[in-house]
Structure 1
Amino acid sequence: MAKVLYSVTMSLDGFIAGPGGDMSWMTEYLGPNPEIDELIGRIGALLVGRRTYDGDDPHKGDEGEGKAFGGGWEGPQFVVTHHLPATAPPNTTFVDDFATALAQAKEAAGDKYVNVMGASMGKQCLEAGQLDEVLTLIAPVLLGDGVSLFNHPGGRNTKLERLSVGQVPLATSLWFKVV
């Protein structure tokens, strides 16, 4: 059965996108990453928020623009949106209900990961009790403002169990199991 993984690159001060969803800050931290290269082969489907799907791309201007993991991964992706388009690109399904999209992504992933992309999708998976693991790559930068990794007004305590800590060429990786 598929596991649900939220993987993300984050600034040291906890932002996964800059103000207005800006992802250009991440471009200089993209590069060879054996941990991500290994992970990509273990992903069976993506669950993506519409703002992330339509949003800024750290691969803007290179051959990986508009492609998951800069073109390193191909397969089914399920985009959660309130506004379903008339047509969809190949391997992309737009769904207007989070639970339905997650169920479809899990089925498509088989025994691999459903990789979650977008702050809202990560939060919804966590709040639904459907998030199994979190992989955070911490980039050595302070953004000061933007989209935080996890925002829950009033707070929320979610226990995590560390699975691994790693040093990759341009970041530090922290992999956790949601307890």
Structure 2
Amino acid sequence: MTMAKLLYSATMSLDGFIAGPGGDMSWMTRLPETGPHETADGLWKQVGSLLTGARTYGGDDPNAGTDQEGAFNGQWSGPEFVLTHNPPATSPPGVTFVTDLPTAVDAALAAAGDLYACVLGADVAAQCLAAGLLDEILVFVAPVLLGDGTPLFRHPGGTFVALDEISSTTGPVPTIRLRVRR
């Protein structure tokens, strides 16, 4: 049996931001239509669980109120693990609030089975990377500039993380899949 891998997946502006100022995600609804995208269109089928942070979980869904609301434009459903310092008293169905990173990662990987446990959110991804837990990064490069916001990766004071290319595509929304070198 194949073990789940921890994948950080994000759509990023050309200048490196995954959200605009204040976590604004409305820019995602203003992207030009690019037609089918083999990697993006099939990704949700490869995801067995989500690991998010509290800001991502409670943040701006650009598709709120539409049939595309939720993860992967509303196509995905499954267990979600939210890393937070302040878990609520009750959890919605399918959502588990966890207060420490190792427990959250272990639970997300166990729930994913032989699929990916997908990290959504820059802060949780950075924590996973710093702890040596992140396996892969998949970035979709959107043809826009935001100028400010939440970067794909931030580490105060800087850091060097070596990555190896697994695959890349060209086209209106290029992608790059990378393995975290250990």
TM-score normalised over the length of structure 2: 0.92
Which residue, 116, 119, 142 being the options, matches 1:116? 119
Structure 1 spans left out of the alignment, 5+ residues: none
Which residue number corresponds to residue 125 of structure 1? 128
Q: Give CA deviations for 1:111-145 in whole Å, capped at 9, x if unaligned.
A: 11100000111101100101110000000111110
1:54 aligns with 2:58: yes
RMSD: 1.4
1:72 aligns with 2:75: yes
Which residue number corresponds to residue 90 of structure 1? 93
1:4 aligns with 2:3: no
Report the Cα distance in structure 1 between the residues aligned to 2:153 and 2:44, rounded to whole angstroms.
Answer: 23
Superposed displacement of residue 23, structure 1: 0.3
Which residue number corresponds to residue 24 of structure 1? 26
Moved more, 84-93 or 115-124: 84-93
Report the Cα distance in structure 1 between the residues aligned to 2:80 and 2:36, rounded to whole angstroms.
Answer: 24
SS in 1 for 2:156: coil
Superposed displacement of residue 167, structure 1: 3.1
Report the Cα distance in structure 2 between the residues aligned to 1:95 and 1:60, rounded to whole angstroms.
Answer: 25
Superposed displacement of residue 60, structure 1: 2.8
Structure 2 spans left out of the alignment, 5+ residues: none
Aligned residues: 177
Superposed displacement of residue 34, structure 1: 2.3
Code of the residue aligned with 2:18 in structure 1: it is I
Code of the residue aligned with 1:159 in structure 2: it is A
Report the Cα distance in structure 1 between the residues aligned to 2:52 and 2:154, rounded to whole angstroms.
Answer: 18
The structure 1 segments of at least 4 consecutive aligned residues displaced by more than 4 Å after TM superposition are none
TM-score normalised over the length of structure 1: 0.93
Superposed displacement of residue 37, structure 1: 2.4
Superposed displacement of residue 172, structure 1: 1.0
Report the Cα distance in structure 1 between the residues aligned to 2:42 and 2:22, rounded to whole angstroms.
Answer: 31
Give the percent of matched residue pairs that are identical in Structure 1 and Structure 2.
55
Which residue, 45, 48, 52 being the options, matches 1:44? 48
Report the Cα distance in structure 1 between the residues aligned to 2:73 and 2:159, rounded to whole angstroms.
Answer: 33
